[in-house]
Each structure stands twice: as structure tokens, then as C-alpha cells.
A and B are shown apart, each in its own frame.
Chain A
């Protein structure tokens, strides 16, 4: 008779007390992942947010180029400025004759130098301080005469009708767009200071 050795039945250990190793807290165990989240979440929010914001405002005038009074600036290879406000001339006065009592008509003028591009420029006159109210020209919004080959220097002008309590200082925002070229994302615009 061959002796068969029966392997010992593996003994199931009796219910064992929890390991004496100190349990680390959940926060501590996930510290690395949480730290990564703290870095990644703000980056994701900023990236997605700024992208959405830039798309929504893509072709609205975005970056003002501040021009001090009496100065000029170059944009799209064309010189703009200096800008000034003047009283309307006799012929312009006729158009302003229908203005209500207390209102005054002013004409914004700025010089545009010679350039190769056909430009359009729309202007807004704004109070520099206080309520910063904004007025549009009484006539056409565009102050630059449209011309396919506008290469001659000219003086752009736009008339505004202001209430009597609008006394300045003013700023004039001029949104210039290059009619021939591709639209520029986040386009710059000129902001003339006028006292």
C-alpha cells in the first residue's frame, strides 16, 4: 500500500482583524490626481472660454489704438489723423437747422493719407468721461468716401447732433476695414482723443 500523502487542506484563516497599517484618508490617497485636476481644470476653462469669446467677438472692433490729440497713426499702410471737432459750415448748418432747441451740431474731421487700400471707416463719437454716451453720425455711418482705388489723401468728416449737456472731452472711435482684403479677426480700431 502506497502511502498517499494528502496535502493539507489549506486552512482558511480565521476572520482577521484589519491590517494594523494606518489607513490613509481618501484625500491623501488621491492627492496626485486632485493636484492634476487643480492644474488642468483652470487651463481647460480658460482655453475653452477664451476660444468661445474670441469666436463670438471675432469681427467686432476689438483692440483700440489710442491716439493722443493732434497725433496720427498708421493702419493698413494708411495714415489717419489728426482728428478735430469743428462747427458746421454754412451748408452743413442747413442740415442742422432741424435740430431741437438746446442741441448743437458738431463735425468730426480727420485726415486720411495716401494709401493703396480701399478703406471704409465707420465712426462713433463718445464722451470720454462720465456716462460715456455714444452718438452716431446724423448722415451715413461711414466717414470715408468709398473708392475702389482710394489712393489720394482726403479729409473724412461726419456730423453729429449732441444734446446741450454733452460738453466733452470726447473720443472718436473709427473702425477701419479694408474693403479689398480678408476680414481681420479681432480687428483693431482707432480711438482719437479730442478735447
Chain B
């Protein structure tokens, strides 16, 4: 088969345009660097075990409150989200600490309040075979109190290529209680 010179010319242009379009398409669908580093997400449900690489977390209760107090006489008013959970290390205690604990609402990221005191703060080493119950208390902007929130929990501050336990929370569906307790971190019953 042979083409006339005009047709060959047109075919070359068409082929070139197709190749440029294909290159653009490949660029457009290529995932970014963060795609290859994304965490392994474990969806948590209230009352069910959620297992990460070296820890097992059981979400117990989510509360919204306008007033919180700890076991030592401290109290504060504001918009608070309290998440109670049980945690233990799996397999080994080496490297099994709860270093990442944050509540994401929209673009904002909240860390558990340190105002509740170090004994109530949930951060730290988890134990093998000895579950502990703890409560993370997040003091949030009142404007965020009716939005959707995601609690994110993990071993390391850096969640790349590591497991991430996530709990989806619809804050609008929760009724704010007048007063809530933030108990100290303690051994589970």
C-alpha cells in the first residue's frame, strides 16, 4: 500500500497529534508521589476491634460536650469532642506507641488537648496483653461542631506506608451533653 505525498503528510501530522494527546493523558492519570506513600487505612467502628500494624484499638464512645472536667478538679467550657477507646499493643511493645492521634475537620487538624492533664492524655506506649482505656479530648472551634470529622490514629507522626486507623464521626448527629468527664488513662476492666 502506498500513500500519495499529501496523504502521507496528513497521516504524519495526525499521528503526531495522537501521540501528544496520549502523552498528556498518561501525565494526567499518573498518580503523584504521595500515591505511592499513602497509608493503609483501617476503618474503625464503635465497639469493634481495629487492628493496625502493631496495635489493636477498640473505639468505645464518641461524645460532644460544652463542659468537660477531669478527675482532679480541672474543668473547662467550650466545644469539645471526646473519643474513648481501648488500646493494646500487638506482638511486641517495641515501637508500639500511640504517637499519632488527631481529629481532622475539613482543613483543620486538632490534637488531643493537653489541658486535661498528663494522666488523662492518651499519648504513649501501649502494652502487650494488657489493654488500657483512655479518652482523647479535642477542644474544637465551635464553628466545626456540626461538621464531619475523622479521627486518625497510628504508630508514628508520619503516616506514610503505615497503617492508619480512622473513625468517621458525624458531629451533627451527636447531641452535645452539658458536662462530660475525661477519665485518667487506666487499665481496662
Q: Do A and B bind each other?
A: yes
Question: Quick one: which of B72-130 are within 8 Å of A by CB?
Answer: 91-94, 125, 127-130
- Would you give the shortest CB distance from B96 to chain A, in whole angstroms? 9
- B128: chain A residues at CB < 8 Å are 133-135, 163
Question: Quick one: which of B156-189 are within 8 Å of A by CB?
Answer: 187-188
- Per the bound structure, the CA–CA distance linking A131 and B90 in Å amounts to 10
Interface assignment of A68: CB less than 8 Å from any CB of chain B: no
Question: Quick one: which of A57-114 are within 8 Å of B by CB?
Answer: 99-101, 103
A134 touches B127 (CB 8 A): no
Total contacts A-B at CB 8 Å? 34
- B130: chain A residues at CB < 8 Å are 100, 103, 161, 163
- Would you give the shortest CB distance from B169 to chain A, in whole angstroms? 29
A136 touches B129 (CB 8 A): no
- Per the bound structure, the CA–CA distance linking A96 and B92 in Å amounts to 20
Interface assignment of A150: CB less than 8 Å from any CB of chain B: no
Contacting residue for B92 out of A100, A103, A133, A165, CB 8 A:
A133
- Would you give the shortest CB distance from B3 to chain A, in whole angstroms? 29
- A163: chain B residues at CB < 8 Å are 128-130
Total contacting residues, chain B, CB less than 8 A: 11
Total contacting residues, chain A, CB less than 8 A: 16
Closest A residue, CB atoms, query B186: A100
- Per the bound structure, the CA–CA distance linking A179 and B93 in Å amounts to 25
Interface assignment of A117: CB less than 8 Å from any CB of chain B: no
- B93: chain A residues at CB < 8 Å are 134-136
Interface assignment of A166: CB less than 8 Å from any CB of chain B: yes
A161 touches B94 (CB 8 A): no
- Per the bound structure, the CA–CA distance linking A23 and B130 in Å amounts to 75
Interface assignment of A124: CB less than 8 Å from any CB of chain B: yes
- A103: chain B residues at CB < 8 Å are 130, 187
B188 touches A136 (CB 8 A): no
- Would you give the shortest CB distance from B63 to chain A, in whole angstroms? 25
- Per the bound structure, the CA–CA distance linking A70 and B93 in Å amounts to 26
B129 touches A100 (CB 8 A): no
- Per the bound structure, the CA–CA distance linking A162 and B130 in Å amounts to 8
- Per the bound structure, the CA–CA distance linking A136 and B89 in Å amounts to 11
- Per the bound structure, the CA–CA distance linking A103 and B129 in Å amounts to 9
B129 touches A134 (CB 8 A): no
Contacting residue for B129 out of A101, A124, A132, A162, CB 8 A:
A162
- Would you give the shortest CB distance from A165 to chain B, in whole angstroms? 7
On B, residues with C-beta under 8 Å from A are 91-94, 125, 127-130, 187-188
15 examples of A-B residue contacts, CB within 8 angstroms = A100-B130, A100-B187, A100-B188, A101-B187, A103-B187, A124-B94, A131-B91, A134-B94, A135-B128, A136-B93, A161-B127, A161-B130, A163-B129, A163-B130, A165-B129
Known: A124-B94, A162-B129. 9 other contacts (CB 8 A): A99-B187, A100-B130, A131-B91, A133-B92, A134-B91, A136-B93, A163-B130, A165-B129, A166-B129
The list of the 10 closest CB pairs from A to B, nearest first, reads A163-B129, A100-B187, A134-B92, A136-B93, A133-B128, A163-B130, A135-B93, A103-B130, A135-B128, A100-B130
